């Protein structure tokens, strides 16, 4: 009688093992058959040779502010020296960071919220920044 009970338990274990294995194989088959998602491809910058062209909205500007005073001391002007520009192609996505230096050609008066087109080298250095309309 003990051998019958042991045989049933072994049989139940085998049924459970076969069922779990079948479910795992079925799950892998579903994952393999699923079409690849192209959501991430929509936000990747478009390469143009060795350069990237990105159009999006300026979400942040980093840099230094310099205050310049004329020799008489009567007038002071503040200038933002831009170091980094962050552009988001889709609002809510992680923005792309661009390095701005003295070689970067850019339209004047770019501010947060402006829609811009950035042409950049693959190392992230902005070559030109112009407002897009």
Q: What confidence tens digit (pLDDT) does each residue in 37-55 have?
A: 545 444 555 555 578 888 9
For 45-98, write each residue's pLDDT tens digit. 555 557 888 899 999 888 888 888 888 878 888 777 888 888 888 777 888 889
| HSE-up (13 A, CA, CB side) for residue 70 | 5
28 versus 89: the higher-pLDDT residue is 89
Q: Give the C-alpha distances (Å, rounded to integers) separating 85 from 8, 37, 81, 105, 117.
A: 70, 29, 11, 13, 12
Whether pTM exceeds 0.95? no
């Amino acid at each position: 009688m003990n051998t019958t009970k042991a045989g049933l338990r072994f049989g139940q274990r085998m049924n459970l093992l076969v069922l779990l294995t079948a479910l795992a194989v079925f799950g892998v088959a579903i994952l393999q058959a699923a079409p690849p998602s192209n959501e991430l491809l929509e936000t990747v910058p478009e390469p143009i040779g060795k350069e990237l062209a990105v159009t999006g909205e300026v979400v942040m500007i980093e840099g230094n502010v310099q205050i310049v005073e004329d020799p008489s001391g009567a007038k002071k002007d503040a200038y933002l020296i831009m170091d980094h520009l962050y552009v988001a192609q889709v609002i809510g996505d992680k923005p792309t960071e661009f390095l701005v230096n003295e070689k970067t050609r850019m339209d004047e008066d770019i501010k947060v919220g402006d829609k811009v087109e950035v042409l950049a080298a693959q190392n992230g250095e902005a070559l030109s920044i112009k407002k897009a309309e």
